[in-house]
């Protein structure tokens, strides 16, 4: 496998960073998870824009232009023969001291990995997920804003641990006010009487790019979509609930906290939007060729 590191492609065994890198020591950095479909990188421009926004929010200077980072993503896919796969684009603060001061790190590190991923077994895409509400509260928006896709994912990891320990593959996270935020790694949608609702980012949800694409597709298909505050009650009584994310794509939730959602099967609205989304992935994106 070839990995883009710094400013060039290197062999996997040579893709190493310093133990003094603040990405390792403090989770100081940002990242994007990106999909490639049918020889194209999907939503690449949007991912790059969000990466630079996240970096700006934490005062991290990326030592490459947007076009150079985009080209690094495409080149890494090409070098690894990736036509359909998953790309992890990482920007660390870089090598520094054992102190917290990020301004002692001279240059940020750019890393691109192109490989494969399957977040959930195919069976769960067919039958839907059963999830629980976890006790780990989503980070407060003024502690670390959810729109910053940072390397420090411990909040989400703790939620994932709770879910797995309870026998589920995913967990629902609430914010400090008890409102629905997101799942440990995906955005949440509910459908009630044909209206879609998803939490706004200020409730603790990442402004996901798959989420945004689904909102656009739903509105173009004639559905009303609301970004609104949600309680668990709104999910319990919904006709459908589903999750969206770059790695997860679109997957139904059929049971939350032992409450069956709708008829306990993936719903019609989700299935329609999933088909529309999959059509986009077949035809849109930045060419890898």
**Catalytic site positions:** 149
Angle subtended by helix axes 66-79 and 44-57, to nearest 10: 130
- What's the rounded Cα separation, in Å, for the pair 166 and 284? 39
Q: Are 34 and 86 in contact (CB under 8 A)?
A: yes
Q: Select from 214, 165, 145 the least CA-distant residue to 186.
A: 214
Tokens for 101?
Answer: 């001061």
Compute the radius of gyration of the chain from its Cα atoms. Answer: 19
Q: Are 102 and 226 in contact (CB under 8 A)?
A: no
Q: Select from 6, 25, 46 the least CA-distant residue to 152.
A: 25
Q: Select from 26, 95, 90, 102 the least CA-distant residue to 64.
A: 90
- What's the rounded Cα separation, in Å, for the pair 63 and 7? 9
Provide, for the chain, the percentages of residues in helix, strand and coil under a 3-state DSSP scheme, each rounded to the nearest 5: 30, 30, 40
β-pairing, 249-256 with 259-260? antiparallel
Q: Are 134 and 183 in contact (CB under 8 A)?
A: no
DSSP letters, 46-80, are: HHHHHHHHHHHHTT---SS-HHHHHHHHHHHHHHT
Q: Report helix, strand or coil for 184.
A: coil
């Amino acid at each position: 496998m070839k990995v883009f590191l710094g400013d060039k492609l290197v062999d996997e065994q040579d893709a190493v960073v310093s133990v003094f890198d603040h990405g390792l020591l403090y989770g100081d950095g940002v990242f994007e998870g990106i999909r490639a479909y049918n020889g194209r990188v999907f939503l690449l421009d949007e991912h790059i824009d969000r990466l630079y926004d996240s970096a700006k929010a934490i005062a991290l200077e990326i030592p490459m232009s947007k076009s150079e980072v985009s080209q690094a993503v495409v080149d890494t896919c090409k070098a690894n023969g990736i036509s359909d796969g998953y790309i992890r684009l990482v920007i660390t603060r870089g090598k520094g001291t054992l102190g917290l001061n990020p301004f002692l790190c001279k240059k940020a590190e750019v890393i691109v990995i192109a490989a494969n991923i399957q977040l959930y077994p195919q069976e769960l895409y067919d039958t839907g997920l059963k999830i629980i509400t976890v006790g780990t509260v989503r980070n407060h928006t003024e502690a670390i804003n959810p729109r910053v896709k940072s390397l420090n994912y411990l909040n989400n990891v703790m939620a994932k641990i709770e879910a797995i320990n309870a026998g589920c593959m995913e967990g629902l996270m609430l914010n400090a006010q008890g409102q629905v935020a997101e799942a440990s790694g995906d955005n949440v949608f509910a459908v009630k009487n044909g209206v879609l609702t998803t939490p706004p980012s200020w409730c603790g949800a990442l402004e996901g790019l798959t989420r945004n694409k689904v909102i656009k597709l739903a509105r173009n298909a004639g559905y009303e979509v609301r970004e609104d505050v949600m309680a668990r009650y709104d999910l319990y009584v919904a006709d459908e609930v589903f999750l969206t994310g770059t790695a997860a794509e679109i997957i139904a939730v059929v049971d939350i906290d032992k409450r069956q959602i709708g008829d306990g099967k993936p719903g019609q609205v989700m299935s329609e939007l999933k088909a529309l989304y999959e059509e986009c992935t077949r035809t849109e994106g930045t060419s890898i060729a």
